[in-house]
């Protein structure tokens, strides 16, 4: 039996559209063991009802496990597998639940069958299935990552240092938005001035986090590539952004394609920010949960193993 945990992730962080992502201490845990035959997947936690109603073979966890089995040529019908899923990551809210499921299936199968796959190979498998590298990379590697593709379509990444006293306040509204739909809301072309705006903010954000330069976070997390087209789908969010920025305590952005919102701040300010988030959503008629999380620096990790 093996047990692994995969962190949730928040992508974009404002200006780093499709390339910056941060792993969070909120987890998808998978326990995998061999059974006589067949496939059993049991769910607990976030999305358990939805996933239990799905055909097992159609779940991302199984599809990604199967990718590894196919790669090693193992005939899955010879042995059965039981996967127990304990999920803390809210689904379809912009916290990378799909990426965590995919990485979980791949790493889980690789660890279970003791197959040596490099991070590069695992990321390639993951991206062949679905998902975005700005979630996939931090879910596997942990921390704040900048993911990019080379001109030969090879996935590469670099890890950016984050301050230990960084806190991520996450407001999770009680409605869902699909990333696919939210991508359709984006324009195909953008003005050069908007591109320059984002280039400057994303470089500023990386520099601010590396140097614990808290004062510039509010400006550093501004974006003009995707948020202006997505915020109309989320009541109260414009007001929330303004109020949080006005405190001068934090930066704020959509988490991935939303509807969750993240605010990056220094430990000590999290309560003030949480209150603004809750109150503003409530004023707009939206019920939300607010979590205060830390960055996960481990990425996907084996947490138990027994023969």
Q: Which residues bind ligand HSE (CB under 6 A)?
A: 11-12, 17-18, 132, 134-135, 179, 182-183, 226, 256-257
- Helix or strand or coil: residue 296? coil
Instruction: Say how many C-beta atoms besides its own lie within 10 A of residue 232's C-beta.
Output: 10
Q: Kindly tell me which of 2 and 126 has the beta carbon lying closer to ligand HSE.
A: 126
- Minimum Å distance from CB 67 to ligand HSE? 19
Nearest to 225 by CA among 19, 22, 23: 19
- Point out the residue whose Cβ comes nearest to ligand HSE: 132
- Minimum Å distance from CB 230 to ligand HSE? 8
Relative orientation angle of helices 133-141 and 97-112, to the nearest 10 degrees: 50
- Minimum Å distance from CB 146 to ligand HSE? 13
Nearest to 10 by CA among 302, 258, 282: 258
- Minimum Å distance from CB 126 to ligand HSE? 12
Q: Kindly tell me which of 260 and 274 has the beta carbon lying closer to ligand HSE.
A: 260
Give CA–CA dist 107/86, Å, rounded. 16
- Phi-psi category of residue 14: left, alpha or beta, with phi > 0 → left and psi -120 to 50 → alpha: left
Q: Kindly tell me which of 3 and 93 has the beta carbon lying closer to ligand HSE.
A: 93
- Minimum Å distance from CB 279 to ligand HSE? 26
Give CA–CA dist 88/172, Å, rounded. 13
- Minimum Å distance from CB 225 to ligand HSE? 9
Which tokens belong to 125? 């498998």
- Minimum Å distance from CB 222 to ligand HSE? 15
Q: Kindly tell me which of 227 and 280 has the beta carbon lying closer to ligand HSE.
A: 227
DSSP alpha helices (H): ranges in 14-118?
Answer: 48-53, 60-72, 97-112
- Helix or strand or coil: residue 244? helix
Q: Kindly tell me which of 87 and 257 has the beta carbon lying closer to ligand HSE.
A: 257
Residue labelled with tokens 């001035």: 193
DSSP alpha helices (H): ranges in the chain?
Answer: 48-53, 60-72, 97-112, 119-129, 133-141, 179-184, 192-210, 217-220, 227-230, 237-247, 270-283
Q: Kindly tell me which of 223 and 270 has the beta carbon lying closer to ligand HSE.
A: 223
Q: Kindly tell me which of 93 and 132 has the beta carbon lying closer to ligand HSE.
A: 132
- Minimum Å distance from CB 11 to ligand HSE? 4
Q: Kindly tell me which of 93 and 245 has the beta carbon lying closer to ligand HSE.
A: 93
- Taking every pair of Cα atoms in the chain, the longest distance, rounded to a whole number of angstroms, is 61
Which tokens belong to 154? 């090879």
């Amino acid at each position: 039996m093996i047990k692994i945990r995969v962190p949730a992730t928040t992508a974009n962080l404002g200006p780093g559209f499709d390339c910056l992502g941060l792993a969070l201490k909120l987890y998808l845990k998978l326990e995998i063991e061999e059974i006589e035959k067949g496939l059993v997947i049991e769910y607990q936690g976030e999305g358990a009802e939805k996933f239990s109603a799905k055909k097992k073979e159609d779940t991302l966890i199984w599809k990604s496990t199967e990718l590894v089995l196919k790669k090693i040529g193992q005939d899955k019908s010879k042995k059965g597998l039981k996967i127990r899923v304990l999920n803390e990551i809210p689904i379809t809210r912009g916290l990378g639940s799909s990426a965590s499921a995919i990485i979980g299936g791949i790493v889980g199968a690789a660890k279970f069958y003791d197959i040596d796959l490099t991070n590069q190979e695992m990321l390639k498998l993951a991206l062949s299935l679905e998902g975005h590298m700005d979630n996939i990379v931090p879910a596997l590697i942990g921390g704040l990552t900048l993911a990019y593709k080379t001109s030969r379509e090879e996935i590469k990444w670099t890890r950016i240092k984050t301050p230990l006293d960084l806190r991520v306040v996450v407001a999770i509204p009680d409605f869902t938005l699909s990333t696919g739909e939210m991508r359709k809301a984006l324009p195909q072309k953008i003005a050069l001035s908007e591109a320059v705006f984002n280039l400057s903010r994303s470089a500023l954000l990386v520099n601010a986090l590396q140097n614990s330069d808290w004062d510039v976070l509010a400006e550093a997390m501004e974006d003009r590539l995707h948020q202006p087209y997505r915020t109309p789908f989320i009541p109260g969010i414009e007001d929330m952004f303004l109020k949080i920025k006005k405190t001068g305590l934090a930066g704020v952005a959509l988490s991935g394609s939303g509807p969750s919102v993240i605010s990056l701040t220094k430990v000590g300010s999290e309560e003030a920010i949480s209150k603004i988030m809750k109150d503003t959503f409530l004023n707009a008629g939206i019920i939300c949960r607010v979590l205060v999380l830390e960055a996960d620096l481990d990425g996907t990790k084996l947490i138990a193993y027994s023969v």
